[in-house]
Amino acid sequence: MNKSLSPWLVAALALNGCSLIPDYQRPAAPVAAQYPQTPAYAPALSGPLAADMGWRELFRDPTLQQLIESAVANNRDLRVAALNVEAYQAQYRIQRADLFPAISANGTGTRQHVPASLTQTGSSVTSGSYSATLGISSYELDLFGRIRSLTDQASLTYLSSEEARRSTQLSLVASVANAYLTWRADQELLALTQSTLGSYEQSLRLTERSQQVGTASALALAQAQTAVESAKASLATFQRQVAQDLNNLTLLVGTSVADSPSNRPLASEWLAEVPAGLPSDLLQRRPDILQAEYQLQSANASIGAARAAFFPSITLTANAGTSSNELSGLFKGGSGGWLFQPQINIPIFNAGSLRASLDYSKIQKDIRVSQYEKSIQTAFQEVSNGLAARQTYKAQLKAQNDLVQANQAYYQLAERRYRIGVDNSLTFLDAQRSLFSAQQTLITDRLAQLTAEVNLYKALGGGWTERSQKTL
């Protein structure tokens, strides 16, 4: 009997691992081969890709570097993403185990006493049985690759979760940087408002004295008071924003953040410029695109499992062991026994369930294709927006800085003319307001430029300095 079974077992094992997964073809990228090149866009300079440039190389402020390092270690969202990777890896190992037979050893023993009233002989009986077996239980021969397809699906899901973790970390790095820059910008706006309020209050005192001696009108006094109260309202606003910025940053970092003034002005060089490269680089570098592609491949693998369900499945149960009615005779000669129990399951009628499952798998793949293409289009848009912001903010900041210089000259001239009595206080108050507004806008525009550069770095897939080994 064993000789007759051997060829069948060899043939079954040879067929084991046949795959019905469709050949995977990466969808064509639904974007142009180049980023827009009109005058509104900065050129996509060549050089090291953003994904190869660590955040320590991009961000030049030591305090910001320390905050990002703390966030990577303590942020709870990132911690959950990392645990999800471990969970999907465990699910993959569980699924992969089905490719191999599960071998188990069992030992049982029973002793039973039957009273005389229940026996045919009228005498009580004490009996026992003992057995020890080693065997395989319900091992499915993967003739058509169903289990292999499910294993590949679980593997690709695990890899997509790893890219999701990278995407979460990249978003975290950008969020911490933007929150920190916003905090520093609001600190500068607060300091500017405090300085301007002091200037307004001094002007109000001068106007009050002038009004007392009859050289300033009640209208000038009212305008000076309005400027002071407006500055006080702005002061309260920026005090609130600075406090809320610190709370937001603390949440992102996951630990306490020292409330200290910045020793680096917002106008200094905070960031290194990152080359944009080509749109095709995003397909290999940006984690959310890689995640979408792994999910597409996982859906493709599920089609193989759905196809294999149409074919017969064979499971094997086999064991060998020994049994005896006495424990001492359990391993004596003649006590051995074995069992070989193959089982075949052939789908005949299932009311269209298998066909519906296959259709569902194909639909899921089509959905994943659309999601993959959308992720590429989103990445292309974000990088294009970043290049437009890079180019236009440079011109805008230069113009705004020139405007501040012009307002500074206007303010100094108006103050001098007011003090010597050539002009009234209205011109001086207007110069003060114009200078304050221009300085506020300059700080706001500089923050917007820095935020746009951080977002461009994120859009290019940067922020990952140590690539983890994808070992399964």
Domains of the chain as residue ranges with CATH: 19-103+144-314+356-459 (1.20.1600.10)
Residue range 397-448, pLDDT digits in tens: 999 999 999 999 999 998 888 777 777 778 888 898 999 999 999 999 999 9
- Read off the pLDDT band of 5 (50, 70, 90): very low
Q: Which of 2-11, 210-219, 267-276 has the highest mean pLDDT?
A: 267-276
Say whether pLDDT at 12 is over 60.
no
Q: Identify the DSSP state of 27.
A: P
Joined together, the tokens standing for residue 89 give: 């890896």
- pLDDT of 279 reads 83
Average pLDDT (193-213) is 86
Q: Identify the DSSP state of 77.
A: H
- pLDDT of 470 reads 41
67 close to 249: Cβ distance less than 8 angstroms: yes
- pLDDT of 14 reads 52
Closest CA to 345 of 317, 372, 312: 312
- Read off the pLDDT band of 390 (50, 70, 90): confident
183 close to 246: Cβ distance less than 8 angstroms: yes
Closest CA to 146 of 308, 356, 344: 308
Selected residue with higher pLDDT from 293 and 277: 293
Lowest mean pLDDT segment, chosen from 98-107, 153-162, 179-188, 278-287: 278-287
- For residue 314, how far is the Cα from the chain centroid? 42
Say whether pLDDT at 206 is over 90.
no
Residue range 92-137, pLDDT digits in tens: 999 999 999 988 998 888 888 888 877 888 888 888 888 889 898 8
Distance CA 127, CA 320 (A): 24
- pLDDT of 466 reads 41
Say whether pLDDT at 471 is over 50.
no
- pLDDT of 147 reads 92
Residues 6+ apart with CB under 8 A from 35: 41, 44, 276, 278, 279, 380, 383, 384, 387
Say whether pLDDT at 49 is over 70.
no
- Read off the pLDDT band of 463 (50, 70, 90): low
Residue % of the chain over a pLDDT of 70 = 92
Selected residue with higher pLDDT from 212 and 316: 316
- pLDDT of 94 reads 93
- Read off the pLDDT band of 4 (50, 70, 90): very low
Average pLDDT (135-156) is 91
Residue range 235-252, pLDDT digits in tens: 999 999 999 999 999 999
Average pLDDT (7-20) is 57
- Read off the pLDDT band of 464 (50, 70, 90): low
Q: Identify the DSSP state of 256.
A: -
| Global confidence as pTM | 0.84
Say whether pLDDT at 6 is over 80.
no
- pLDDT of 274 reads 78
Say whether pLDDT at 257 is over 80.
yes
78 close to 287: Cβ distance less than 8 angstroms: no
Mean pLDDT of the chain: 86
- pLDDT of 164 reads 94
Q: Is the dihedral of CA 135, 138, 142, 143 positive or negative?
A: positive
Lowest mean pLDDT segment, chosen from 162-171, 193-202, 382-391, 413-422: 413-422
Say whether pLDDT at 2 is over 60.
no
Lowest mean pLDDT segment, chosen from 218-232, 323-337, 338-352, 398-412: 323-337
Say whether pLDDT at 214 is over 80.
no
- Read off the pLDDT band of 472 (50, 70, 90): very low
Residues 215, 218, 221, CA angle at the centre, nearest 5°? 85
